[in-house]
Structure formats: C-alpha cells, structure tokens
Structure 1
C-alpha cells in the first residue's frame, strides 16, 4: 500500500513539472530598429560645362539680285553644315525636381553653300554658287524638370530662351551660264554681316551621379535661331542678302559640379534601446 502511494506521488510530481515546462515561454529577442536614412531637399549652386556637335539645317535665304531690282529673291538652294560646339554655365538647384541655369555656348565654323538663278554678265540664264560660313554665340536662360531618380540616373526635360550672335564670313559668289558651266562671271565677294537674333531651345536627357558633387549629363537639344542679315553689297552693287534663320539638332555631353551636393542625404542613428538580460529558469 505504501509503495502504491509513493508511486502515485512520483507520477503527480513528474506531471506537474512537465505542465510547468509547457507553460514557460522564453523571452523574445530584444527589438533593434533598422538604421534610418532621412532624405532632405537637394538645393544649391552648380557650375556646368558641355561639349557636343550640332547638325544644322538652313531655313533658306533671300537677296536683292541687283541695284535696279526692287524685290527680294529667294535662294534656289541653301545648305548649312554641322559644327562642333562647347559651353559653360552657372545654375541653381531649387529642389529635387526643379533647377535653372544661365549658359553661354559657342558653335564653331559651319560652312554654307547656296545657289541662285537669274541673269548674269555672260548670259540671261545663270546659276550661281555661293560659299560662306558662320559662327554663333548663344546666351540662354534655361529651366529643367528632373522627372525621377532611378539609382544613379535622373531623366529630365527642359526649355530655354535667349539670343544668339550670328557672325557670317564673306560670301563668294560665282555665276555661270546655265547651259555652259564653263562660261562664268568673275567671282564677287560680299562682306559678311553679324548681329543678335532671338533663339529658343528644348532639351531632354539624363543626369548620372558620378559622386555626390559631380554629375555627368548626356542630352539632346533642339535649338532654333531667328533670321537676320547675312551679307552686304558687292563691288558692282549686287546684294545685300538675309538668311531666314536655322535650327540645330545637338548631341551634348557635359558635367555639373554641385556645391554642397554631399549634404543632401543625412544618416540618422537609431535611438539606443537597452537589451534585456536573458532569464534562465
């Protein structure tokens, strides 16, 4: 009987221990917050520089055929070749999506070739060959919208307005008999003209973060320059002439140095949370 009671007590004691073990749950691990990155608005001054190539398209030209001709006559054909270009500028990043700058660009020598049709000294029906070139200096105020940022890439669109100083070289004009190209007038020279004209531009491209201060820029620009004086009178009174303006498709590669660009992202350390000591039971 005594042995039976001892066995029952042992069984109850073991069951109670097992039940207590089932009720015990270990403490969860201490919660540690992930580091927090606080992004602030990007703003500040920057300097920029660009190089590229402009594919030019003449919009035509017109001239006075002689001293006794009252009206203007259109060139029969005009062709303006492309030219290399470069530019510098200063700008301000207003926020993460909007910036403005003021730029000065120089377009190198672009050759012009045209022709006219009319009477000349050797025949009543003559075709001329007209050769010249131009250079352009453009001052423009621009605004851009940075659309979004994908890793290191930020696509943008923009527009600009300003003026271009177009300087034409002397134009050399040779007129020949349309039916006999070997029969020609002497070559006459017209003095080239220069002047400021209205200009505007549309841009699209992408900025690439090289460092927090330095951004590469790959872009396209469409620029149109208005009409203006092209050449003056020659020695026998022919001329003057005007061009009707031209436009350019430009491929550009450049860079921007942003002052204070490394301060746009700040690391905020997480608040310290004491780690609870482990409890052993």
Structure 2
C-alpha cells in the first residue's frame, strides 16, 4: 500500500511540474517582427512643355556715331563724323517657348521698338556768304529709328525660392533697322545755309542679347517676369547721298532695356512633388 501511495504522489508531482512549465511559457511574450512601412517611390513632378509670352519694355539706345563723306572742289571724299544722342522709347513683343527641364528653357521672340528720336551735330567747312572764303561750320541733324528684333533665346533658371525664380539668358538673331530721313540744317551766314534732307535707309543687321531677371509663379501655369536686356546691334547704312554729302553709316548701337511680361504654360502642371500617404501593412507576429 505504501508503494502504491508513492507512485500516486510521483504522478501528481509530474502533473504539477508540467502545469507550471506551461504557465511559464505563456508568460514569455512572443517575438514580433514588424513589416516596414512602404512609401511609393518619389517621382519628380513633370515639367510643362510649351509656353507663350508677352512683354512690354522701356529702352534707351547708345548711339556710337556715324561716318560719312563730303565732296567738293578739290576734295575727294573728305571724312566726317556725325555725333548725337537717341532718346528713350517703348517696346512690345511676344514669343513662344519650350521648358526643357526645371533649369533650362528656350524661346523665339519678336519685338517692336517704337521710334527713338535722334538729335546730333556734324562739323565741317562752309563758304561764307558774299565770297568771304571757307570757314568752319556745324550743322544740327535730326532723325530717328524704329526696329523689329527677332531672337532665339536660351535661359538658365537658377532655382525657385518662395515662388521667385531668378534667371540668366542669351539670344542671337537679327534686327530690321529703319532710319527716318535725316534733316541736316546749317545756320545763317553761309552759302550752304538751310536744311538738306538725306533719305533714311533700312536693312537687316546681326544682333545678340544678354538677359537677367526673375519670374514669380502666380499659379502653376502663369508667371510674371521682370528683367533687364542688353542688346547689341551691328552697324549699317544710316542715310543716303545728298548735296555733296553722304552716304552715312552708323556704328554699332547698344540698347539697354527694362522689360516686364507674362508667361503662360500649356500641358502638365509644374508643381513641387508631394508624396502620397504611406501604405500600411499589418505586422507579422511569430510565437
């Protein structure tokens, strides 16, 4: 009987031990391996393609002089120099362009410069009235020019800061230059006194431009542009022969211009990239 009691006690002890082990296993927390949160790959926003532009401006031209010849008895083409200043004028223009990337764009522009009035002087030798012999004299010269400018341009945008994008650019092309008639007036006291009119000329000339400025994005399609443009126009024929003087050829003209305009983009928006919300995946739990 004692032997049976001992077996029963041993069996009870084993059951208690197994139960305690099971409870201890339940106390240990399971190992949890969390699946990382996946974000969709960030793709830069697409850049707009074509755009149109319109500009207005105020310009002032630097006249660098004009060379001409005078003829007379015993004088075969005596050189002369016409000097003076050009007044400021207005300009309007437009164009079409293409945004190649976030930092590079190109466009083709056509601008019209309204008339810039010219007032200048030239000096030479005139005959005094009454046979008093030759003497130094000067004349007052008035004319003006207007022009069409056709340029192919490229710009580098230097980044955007709070909606403002500074840029630099350059352009190559031509200018159709139209000079009005030149009125050459010599004061009283000389046989040549009075006004002589030289026909103005027109021609195409090579030109290049350098630009700098900044644009502000009103929205994803419309931008306001404010900038400065330096334009160099090569020299050419200015006026024709008249009364033993001419023709005249102006030297290169430098044009300084302040411009304001609008650019409107077509196609897809050009906006900063905003990532979508993360895709949640439930964690995988291992026990």
TM surpasses 0.5: yes
Tell me how large the CA RMSD over aligned residues is: 2.8
Which of 217, 225, 228 in structure 1 is aligned with 2:225?
A: 217
Structure 1 stretches of 4+ with a deviation exceeding 4 A read 31-38, 263-268
**Does 2:171 correspond to 1:171?**
no
CA contact (8 A) 1:36 1:270 kept: no
Q: Structure 2: how far apart are the matches of 1:112 and 1:106?
A: 18
Q: Structure 2: how far apart are the matches of 1:261 and 1:114?
A: 53
2:102 aligned partner: 96
TM-superposed deviation, 1:39: 3.0
* Structure of larger gyration radius: 2
Q: Structure 2: how far apart are the matches of 1:246 and 1:119?
A: 28
CA contact (8 A) 2:97 2:107 kept: yes
**Does 2:199 correspond to 1:191?**
yes
Distance 1:190 1:43, change over 3 A: same
**Does 2:168 correspond to 1:148?**
no
TM-score where L is the length of structure 1? 0.79
Matched ranges for 1:1-281 at <5 A: 38-66=43-71, 68-75=75-82, 77-122=83-128, 124-176=135-187, 185-234=193-242, 236-262=243-269, 264-265=271-272, 267-273=274-280
TM-superposed deviation, 1:246: 0.9
TM-superposed deviation, 1:266: 5.4
Return 5+ residue gaps in structure 1 as ranges.
1-23, 25-30, 277-281
1:127-175 deviations in whole A, cap 9, x for unaligned?
A: 1000000001110010000011101100000001110011000000012
CA contact (8 A) 1:36 1:267 kept: no
2:20 aligned partner: none
CA contact (8 A) 2:51 2:96 kept: yes
Return 5+ residue gaps in structure 2 as ranges.
1-28, 30-35, 129-133
TM-score where L is the length of structure 2? 0.77
TM-superposed deviation, 1:183: 8.8
Distance 1:231 1:36, change over 3 A: same
